[in-house]
Amino acid sequence: MRHPILFAALAGCTIALSGCMGKDDAEVARAMKSVNAIDETNLSDIMLTVADPREAVNYFERSSSENPDRIDLQRGLAKSYIRAGAPAQAVKAWQKVIAMPAAGPDDKVNLADAEIRSGDWKAAEATLNTIPPTHETFERYKLEAMVADSKKDWKKADAFYETAQGLTTRPGSVLNNWGFSKLTRGDAKGAEKLFTEALTYDPSSFTTKNNLVLARAAQRKYDMPVIEMTQAERAQLLYTAALSAIKQGDVTLGKGLLQEAIDTHPQHFEEASRALAALDAAPAKG
């Protein structure tokens, strides 16, 4: 019994909307355009975070070709190439972005990042040199430090790492990079200190934990550091310490660490078992 009344009401709304469209076409079109823009922004965010990297690339390639003047889509394409592990393509995409009128210093920072990822350190340095010194950001100085590292300009690298650290509340990654830089210079003690500090900001980073064990092993400190670790991580870290000990001639200690790694691992530890078998088959050297 109520259906005819409902249909009549809907019909009335339709007529009213038709009348509005006749009067305010431009206003309605603008409103719909705004809604579509919001939808596109949400979709772009999804594509750059949780979507499959290849799917994201396809989306931004299509969208940016349909809207070549949209710098946000061009940026999305460049970022999606990075997520998909295609830094060389990202470089070309960022080069296109920085040629657009609305481009800013952050776009050049992103270009330099892509150039470093593709192994073109000279291009990255040249790009960073075009950024005004007043543009002081964590990402900029992190890249400056990495470029200085690549040139073995340790004084500059230290200064840039220190500056980058002060520009973020989450310096774990830059402290890890700085520590690795110290380790490659032969400053194992300085590296250990930086890796330990990095873990206070990101205690879940296995890369930093492994680097910490390497720094300690370089000082012939093969015992495990007092840090958070799972059983599987402990086994992997013991394996790292074992290989370091063997490389430094501490073969007997290394064998003991390999056995401990095998005993600690919650599953079969193939790499450690194979290494220990090879050592047992070889003549004793220490």
- Rounded Cα distance, 180 and 219, in Å: 15
H-assigned helices in the chain: 3-23, 25-47, 53-66, 71-83, 87-98, 105-117, 121-129, 138-150, 154-165, 172-185, 188-201, 206-217, 231-247, 251-264, 270-281
The answer to whether 173 and 204 are in contact (CB under 8 A) is: no
At residue 40 the predicted structure's pLDDT band, cuts being 50, 70 and 90, is: low
Give domain limits for the chain. 26-104
DSSP line for 71-86: HHHHHHHHHHHHHTT-
DSSP line for 92-113: HHHHHHHTSTT--HHHHHHHHH
In terms of Cα–Cα distance, which of 77, 148, 151, 72 is closest to 114?
Answer: 77
Give me the chain's average pLDDT, please. Answer: 88
For residue 44, the model assigns a pLDDT of 81
In the predicted structure, residue 105 carries a pLDDT above the cut 90: yes
Record the pTM.
Answer: 0.79
For residue 109, the model assigns a pLDDT of 98
DSSP line for 214-246: HHHHTTT--SPPSS---HHHHHHHHHHHHHHHH
Task: Produce one character per residue of 46-58: b if its CB has 16 or more CB atoms within 10 Å, e if not.
Answer: ebbeebebeebbe
Can you identify the CATH homologous superfamily of domain 26-104?
Answer: Tetratricopeptide repeat domain (1.25.40.10)
- For the stretch 240-260, pLDDT in tens is 999 999 999 999 999 999 999
- For the stretch 117-141, pLDDT in tens is 999 999 999 999 999 999 999 999 9
